[in-house]
Amino acid sequence: MKSRTAFEQTVRKMERFGGKLYFWTFTFRNVHSLGFAMRLWNEFLTILKRKIQFRGVRVLELHDEHGVHFHVVTNKRYKIRTMLTLGDRYGFGRMHVARVTDVGGGIAYLCKYLSKRRAPCLRSVRLWAAFGDIERTRVSDIVCDSPFARVLRKIMGSPSLDELLSARGRTNGRRTARERNFSRALPLAWEDYLSEFDPEHKQRQRIWQARRLQGLCELSARWFGVVPVFEEVG
């Protein structure tokens, strides 16, 4: 969610400060491994930034059959012939560019690639990245707030919302020593959060856990009704 928000705000800034937006798609002639494709793209992007001051936001798409595609949103017009000439030596066989007339629709289209369940090979890869001389919003700039998030911050000893939004909170991100592990802090936060609505929640949960572990409760009878008895047919 934070990544998608940062991406959307970056594109909106490009529209606000650059005017027209253009949507590019870069496709390799051949199917490459992800690592090799990323290396070719980075080399190609370095040349583009040096030769024509290429700038924008890149979104990675992993296609089931055609391998890796790179979608790019720019706020400056570039010559397609120049792009094709520079991209030929890096294995790009097809490039397509179109004017973005519906910015909201374009953002939604690219966000679907950010929302897909990640393939194992994409776990350490940035699905989107801004490059060149543009004003951007980083994921670390996005602050999520809700009643539950405040409880979780307190459990983990993280800075409060006011501290995060202040200059002092951003420069001094030290936590007070509490539960820093997210997976262990999450159930504790749920307990505290639900206890705000039900003061006896924690006590009832402890009693339930004790009885469950002693085998005194039949889960199937309580949650799924009476277990049916079937007559044997012999």
Cross-strand partners of 27: 69, 94
Domains of the chain: 2-139 (3.30.70.1910), 145-201 (no CATH)
SS3 state at 165: helix
Distance CA 206, CA 24 (A): 57
Distance CA 160, CA 153 (A): 7
Q: Which of 1, 97, 21, 86 is nearest to 49 (CA)?
A: 86
Q: Which two tokens stand for residue 101?
A: 């007339």
Q: What is the pLDDT of residues 193-218, one digit of tens each?
A: 888 888 888 888 888 777 766 665 55
pLDDT of residue 179: 60
pLDDT of residue 147: 87
**With 80 as the cut, is the pLDDT of residue 187 above it?**
yes
Distance CA 71, CA 96 (A): 10
With bands split at pLDDT 50, 70 and 90, how would you rate the model's confidence at 171? very low
The secondary element (H helix, E strand) that includes residue 89 is: none
Distance CA 208, CA 98 (A): 60
Q: Which residue has the tokens 């997976």?
A: 183
pLDDT greater at residue 133 or residue 226: 133
Q: Which residue has the tokens 């959060």?
A: 193
With bands split at pLDDT 50, 70 and 90, how would you rate the model's confidence at 172? very low
Longest dimension (CA), the chain: 84
Q: What is the pLDDT of residues 48-98, one digit of tens each?
A: 999 999 999 999 988 877 788 899 999 999 999 999 999 999 999 889 999
With bands split at pLDDT 50, 70 and 90, how would you rate the model's confidence at 163? confident
Q: What is the pLDDT of residues 111-151, one digit of tens each?
A: 888 887 877 877 778 889 999 988 888 887 777 788 888 88
Per DSSP, the residues of 127-177 read SEEEESS-----GGG-----HHHHHHHHHHTPPPHHHHHSHHHHH--PPPS
Distance CA 226, CA 213 (A): 21
**With 90 as the cut, is the pLDDT of residue 39 above it?**
yes
Q: Which residue has the tokens 């949103």?
A: 73
SS3 state at 61: strand
pTM across the whole model = 0.68
The secondary element (H helix, E strand) that includes residue 68 is: strand 67-74
